[in-house]
Copies of this chain bind each other. A is one copy, B any other.
Amino acid sequence: MKNKNIARHNATVTRARRESLNGHKGAVLWFTGLSGSGKSTLAHTVEEKLHRMGCLTYVFDGDNVRHGLCGDLGFSHEDRVENIRRISEMVKLFLEAGVIAMAAFISPFRSDRERMRNFLGGDFLEIYCKCSLEVCEKRDVKGLYRRARAGEIKEFTGISSPYEEPDNPDLMFDTGSTPLEECVEKIVGFLIEREIVKSPARAKRFHASP
């Protein structure tokens, strides 16, 4: 940390007060898995469900992070580490804001995910989108596997760079065979069980009409 000349100001609005206002707790749902394993689709579908339950949510993925905050970073080892560091710091601020933050990144290295878990503590929930390389490669929505096989993309996870499976994820789905809706229900059920959100039947939050 380069900056010693910065004083810490006392904020009166704390995470706990924001969570009480929001009617749910902050959390980080970290979706990891191969390209094409359905991380983003799952995160956005969970977000839709939580939003309808009155929760404050945000999804981070390549779209809004790799094009913006981390737009100066490439895919070298050093840049990947810095990418994960910035995402961790940003996600921590969203946690403080009482938001349920979802992050959908391949995040192939166990060490990166462990660093994140250490940094974020119990608020970090690792969700493994387990899907065979065959299925992901067959989907190849973005044509990236074809290009990686052709050698046009270097260090592509699953082809020319390893994916290290989570040892003990909080949740795991075979996203090659499990229906999307079933994965969503399980994730929301898990959040209710962990008392991060209230079950819809018990939620007492009312909203102004638009």
Report which A residues bind B (CB closer than 8 A). 1-3, 5-13, 17-18, 20-23, 40-41, 44, 47-48, 51, 54, 56-64, 66-69, 71-75, 82, 86, 89-90, 92-94, 96-99, 141-142, 144, 147, 153, 198, 203-210
State whether A68 touches B48 (Cβ < 8 A): no
> Which among B47, B62, B93, B153 is the interface contact of A64 at CB below 8 angstroms?
B93
- State the copy count for this chain: 2
State whether B204 touches A205 (Cβ < 8 A): no
| Bound Cα distance from A22 to B18, whole angstroms | 12
What is the chain B residue whose CB lies nearest that of A93? Answer: B64
> Which among B18, B51, B66 is the interface contact of A13 at CB below 8 angstroms?
B51
> Separation in Å of the A50 CB from the closest CB of chain B?
8
State whether A205 touches B203 (Cβ < 8 A): no
> CB-CB < 8 A to A54: which residues of B?
21
> CB-CB < 8 A to A48: which residues of B?
12-13
> Which among B2, B18, B56, B82 is the interface contact of A97 at CB below 8 angstroms?
B56
What is the chain B residue whose CB lies nearest that of A3? Answer: B66
State whether A23 touches B66 (Cβ < 8 A): no
Contacts A12-B48, A92-B68; A56 near B22 (Cβ below 8 A): yes
What is the chain B residue whose CB lies nearest that of A44? Answer: B11
Extra contacts besides A6-B62, A203-B208 (9): CB < 8 Å: A13-B47, A13-B59, A20-B207, A21-B54, A21-B56, A21-B207, A56-B98, A64-B93, A204-B208
What is the chain B residue whose CB lies nearest that of A7? Answer: B142
State whether A17 touches B207 (Cβ < 8 A): no
State whether A94 touches B92 (Cβ < 8 A): no
Q: Supply 20 A–B pairs (Cβ within 8 Å), ascending by A.
A: A1-B67, A3-B74, A6-B63, A7-B141, A9-B63, A10-B44, A11-B44, A11-B47, A12-B47, A13-B47, A13-B48, A13-B51, A18-B57, A20-B210, A23-B207, A56-B97, A58-B93, A60-B93, A72-B82, A94-B94
| Bound Cα distance from A204 to B206, whole angstroms | 9
